[in-house]
């Protein structure tokens, strides 16, 4: 299957938070072929747990709208390399950022994020 967009956890947080940024993402979630990394699921579950909120409704919604993509060996290795390359430019660029980005690249999709750590990176839409 081909996906136009891969949604990262920061974009999902804004979407579910009903923020102005989230409203800008709504049409992508509702109308496009989208996917998300399993790491975004882990991050969302972690946020819900920290906030003592049930995660199941959020998970069910994400599963109804987006394909959940695994972290493969190739993604893991490429994300580690990417993280170390990006750290030369931005010391805050993390391994999870790399996983989201490489997942999108492997799918030939555009990453949708609200994270400014991706400024200047190809095939990324930063929702502001």
pLDDT, average across residues 93-107: 96
Give me the pLDDT at residue 100, please. Answer: 97
Q: What is the pLDDT of residues 43-82, one digit of tens each?
A: 999 999 999 999 999 999 999 999 999 999 999 999 999 9
Q: CATH: 3.40.50.300, 3.20.20.70, 3.40.50.1010, 1.10.10.10. Which one for 5-126?
A: 3.40.50.1010
Report how far residue 63's alpha carbon sits from residue 75's, in angstroms, rounded to the nearest whole number. 21
Strand pairing of 124-126 and 110-113?
parallel
Question: Domain coordinates of the chain in residue numbers?
Answer: 5-126
pTM over 0.85: yes
């Amino acid at each position: 299957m081909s996906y136009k967009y891969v949604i990262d956890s920061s974009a999902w947080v804004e979407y579910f938070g009903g923020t102005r940024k989230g409203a800008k993402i709504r049409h992508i979630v509702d109308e496009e072929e989208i996917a998300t990394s399993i790491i975004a699921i882990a991050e969302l579950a972690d946020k819900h747990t920290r906030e003592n909120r049930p995660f199941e409704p959020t998970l069910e919604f994400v599963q109804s709208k987006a394909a959940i993509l695994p972290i493969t060996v190739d993604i893991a290795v490429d994300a580690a390399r990417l993280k170390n390359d990006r750290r030369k430019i931005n010391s805050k660029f993390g391994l999870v950022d790399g996983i989201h980005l490489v997942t999108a690249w492997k799918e030939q999709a555009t990453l949708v994020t609200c994270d400014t750590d991706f400024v200047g990176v190809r095939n990324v839409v930063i929702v502001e």
